[in-house]
Amino acid sequence: MNKNRHIKPFTERTGYFERLKPFINKKLIKAVTGQRRVGKSFLMFQLIDEIKNQTPDANIIYINKENFEFDNIENYKDLIHYVNDKYSQEKPNYLFVDEIQDINQFEKALRHFLTEENIDIYCTGSNANMLSGELATYLSGRYIEIKVYSLTYLEFLKFHKLKNTKHSLNKYLNFGGLPYLKNLPLKEDIVFEYLRNIFTTIIYKDVIARHKIRNTNILENLVRFLANNVGNIISAKKISDYLKSQNLKVSAQIILNYLEHLQSAFLIYKVKRTDITGKKVFEIHEKYYFEDWGLKNSLVGYTKFNINQVLENVVYIHLKAAGYEIMVGQTGDKEIDFIGERDGAKLYVQVAYLIPDEKVIAREFGNLLLVKDNFPKIVVSLDEYTIKNYQGILHLNLRDFLSRTADY
């Protein structure tokens, strides 16, 4: 095996590993995608350990484009030459390439390797468009994609060796779910400094450098605006008006381009709105959520004034990690925070900070009562004592909601 540096012990993320494990030694490219620092590399290390247990003489070829020693692999020809040099005729070969999007026209190399009989291919990428365009054309039907998200609440407890308490939940809401935090004291000054550095890396490597953006000030102000408006309906015009108020003139089209770039880097997700019957999707005025709310908090803070935003963001990522496709439901002036669809079934979720009185009950539960189908409907809040069941609608404390399996 070449200089593989995954010597440090790591905490397993069993769910992702079990999804990838059946594809070991299958003639498919295994592509693991997600924002930087969500743990894609360590998932590769889990697979490497499993392969070495199954096949002790496996020839592991590991490339990490974030390591200086691989800087000379700039394009698909360099990648082919490097792998050919490490390739074994006598042993089974397993190729792992971290951050493969940093190799120009890497898809040509992957297609070449697929023609080889004795090599199993895995790669990670921090670009949502990595598996579209030319790659989809080159490799149609010959790859699977596994998306990796920030730690779920139960994973957070496991990584940090915490008990399931209100105090642990507050740490999760404040600091987010990037796996490396397990190596840091969970104190705001330390964690937020680390998270701001991660944010800078994502912005400059995956957005500014990749898309050759010159006006970085506009981009950074845009992200700060999004961080302050998580869960709010947003339009390009609204953002443009805000930036103009900051003496930053920019067209709506440029804003739309920047939003697309931020989505490509997995920093944010766009959620479209649909009418509650699901028959119409609104093409304008979407909502945006961060992959990791800890990054958001490091930019604008975590206070009682924005806790509703954080709660929505946490529930959104929890549903995404559970495999749901998500939209915002709307009918007239009534809104349902999330409509999740998975395997032909739906789940309706309303998120509230607290349910203190009949007025809030009428609003949060009333919106869900407008939906006349028989799919599960849940109100999630921070109330320690919940209503349990309100006319068939389940009321769950956030900790209970995040502690459940993917089935509701």
Tens digits of per-residue pLDDT, 16-31?
999 999 999 999 999 9
With contact defined as beta carbons under 8 Å apart, do 238 and 221 qualify?
A: no
- pLDDT value for 98: 97
- pLDDT value for 363: 92
- pLDDT value for 7: 45
- pLDDT value for 1: 45
- pLDDT value for 283: 62
- Total Cβ atoms within 10 A of residue 31: 23
- pLDDT value for 9: 67
- pLDDT value for 407: 55
DSSP helix/strand/coil, 307: helix
Query: Right CATH number for 14-147 from 3.40.50.300, 3.10.20.30, 3.60.20.10, 3.30.1300.10?
Result: 3.40.50.300
Q: Which of 383, 340, 348 is CA-nearest to residue 365?
A: 348
Both tokens of 383, joined, read: 């109330």
CA atoms of 402 and 393, how far apart (whole Å)? 17
CA atoms of 306 and 357, how far apart (whole Å)? 21
Considering the chain, what is the average pLDDT of its residues? Answer: 93
Q: Where are the domains of the chain?
A: 14-147, 153-403
- pLDDT value for 408: 47
CA atoms of 95 and 106, how far apart (whole Å)? 13
pLDDT < 50 positions in the chain: 1-7, 408
**Where do the DSSP E strands lie in 126-242?**
143-147
**Residue at 325: amino acid letter:** E
